Chains A and B, each alone.
Chain A
Amino acid sequence: MSFELDRIGLIHSNGQAQGQRALRAVSISAARGERLAIIGPSGAGKTTLLRILATSIRPTEGRVSVLGTNPWQLSSRELRRLRSGVGFIHQAPPIPPRQRVITAVIAGRLGQWPWWKSALSLIYPADIAGPREQLARLDLADRLFDRCDRLSGGQLQRVGVARVLYQRPDLLLADEPVSAMDPALADLTVGQLHAEAQSRGVTLVASLHAVDIALRWFPRVIGLKAGELVFDLPPAKVSESVLRDLYASETGVLPSQDNQPFHASFEGYATDDTPGGSGQVPLAPPRVI
């Protein structure tokens, strides 16, 4: 079991009105190597859910198990080791603007390296080939020694992805990892996340603002709305009406990576209410280069 959430409830410690839960009785579990997409409107609780998996917030109710242990019963040393095996790609990359790209990528291994190696890397990077290889996968190898404040939003987001790829985590979490990228780069990046998860057999959980990417790439799609689990289905079973309910979209426009009206391309996907029930086969993911 890669992770297991059992009837998780969460009230954020700051701000929210009494009893207002960001998550309500959410139960999800995944075996090692599974790849899940989480979709849902803004404020649904996607980030909160991922942060619980990343052991960065502790649920108010319910039971969490990450990589086979309950993180909140570990000693601080064990918890640190567990955390070094969980990678989290943030929507807004938390990288100091003055930092160089290579340093930002190397920071992915701080939890695994002895402190002296990390300290020496501030002066001269202990590994250059490794960060370069991860950046090259995302078409950024030429920016290795640039400062991060010279990068565009999409480039910085890819540096954040490269950092977590370099970390080589056992559980790969991604919070809207491609929200600042154009469709082609988004496909490249999501493709690399899948390649990483498949080649090392690790679990990938990604929240996505774009429904098309979720349906095209992920074998399992989870719908979250107002803190509640709405569905947990293979993409072939995610029908247009289910999506419209999720996004409460009367106008028929569902969020997609290229901001084109999404329903136009719906013929490519299965609908639950087609006769025979099995529906069409979803489009195959583009081959990973």
Chain B
Amino acid sequence: MLLALLVLWPLMQIAEFRPSDLFDARNLEVMGGFLGQFFPPNMSGDFLAYALKATIETLAMATAGIALAMLLALPLGLVLTHSLSVSRIGPGSGRGAGEAVRAAARATLLILRGIPELVWALLLVRAFGLGPAAGVLAIALTYGGMLGKVYSEILESGDTRPARVLLESGSGRLMAFFYGLLPGAGQELASYTIYRWECAVRASVIMGFVGAGGLGQLMDQSMKMLNGGEVSTILIIFLLLVLLADALSVFLRKLLA
């Protein structure tokens, strides 16, 4: 305990985290007033219409981002997967080239997911200007990197014999994936993708704060005006979205079972 405090204290100094600020009378008053407004949530028709539009924008941003991320992740993930490598059988010709391509794919995925989506968004906002396009691309890049890596890990962790055997009878890599690996791994791939979609919804909210539109931007405005009722409505919408993602995941798993 003492040790923890000793370690924590300098860290908190560096982070300029001063617990006393929390209890400063003026701050308490402002915070209290703000939190007090959380109830009741703002359910006026006007604001709900705004919130609905912002929700759709956020969902569209997250969904488009994840769709693009999948387009990026599937080929890279398949390239990375050892059990789909033809040149490893034997090993045969083109082994060196195969390893080089795999290393390039691994490096690409590393760079994509190594840069946080918010940083991508800030970079892309300069190129595309304020608006959802930057958010969509930022999600596509970072989440493409994550999905690609995890896809190949999921494919590698299951039974890889069916795919290998198909490759050994002359099948191509893509069909070996569809006929040999997907039946066993489909459920897990789908539920991981849905989970990432849920994260993308959150990420697109955060990117709204830097001008990518949607719920984040709306929340930013409400926060700046210290309008607690609006903020709590938006928070309720977040909860509903997470529940929606859960339900979707359960539904997809059932569908694939």
Contacts and interface: CB of A to CB of B under 8 A. Distances in A.
Contact of A84 (B91, B159, B169, B174): B169
A118 interface: yes
Contacts of B174: 115, 119
B41 interface: no
B175 interface: yes
Interface string A103-139: 1000110111001001100100000000000000000
Interface of B: 86-87, 89-94, 159, 161-162, 164-166, 168-172, 174-176, 178-181, 183-184, 186
Interface residues of A, number: 38
A93 B214 CA distance: 52
7 contacts: A55-B89, A57-B89, A72-B90, A83-B168, A88-B168, A96-B183, A169-B169
A25 interface: no
A239 B64 CA distance: 72
Interface stretch (A36-44, A73-81, A151-159, A217-225): A73-81
Given A84-B169, A88-B169, A110 B176 contact: yes
Nearest to A98: B183
Contacts of A111: 169-171
B176 A74 contact: no
Nearest to A103: B179
Given A98-B183, A98-B186, A99-B179, 20 more contacts: A54-B168, A55-B89, A56-B168, A76-B87, A80-B170, A80-B172, A83-B169, A84-B169, A90-B165, A94-B164, A94-B165, A94-B180, A96-B162, A96-B180, A110-B175, A118-B171, A118-B175, A118-B179, A119-B175, A169-B169
A189 interface: no
The 8 closest A-B pairs by CB, nearest first: A111-B170, A84-B170, A110-B171, A96-B183, A83-B170, A94-B161, A94-B165, A58-B90
A112 B184 CA distance: 24
Given A58-B91, A119-B175, A112 B162 contact: no
Contacts of B168: 54-56, 83, 88
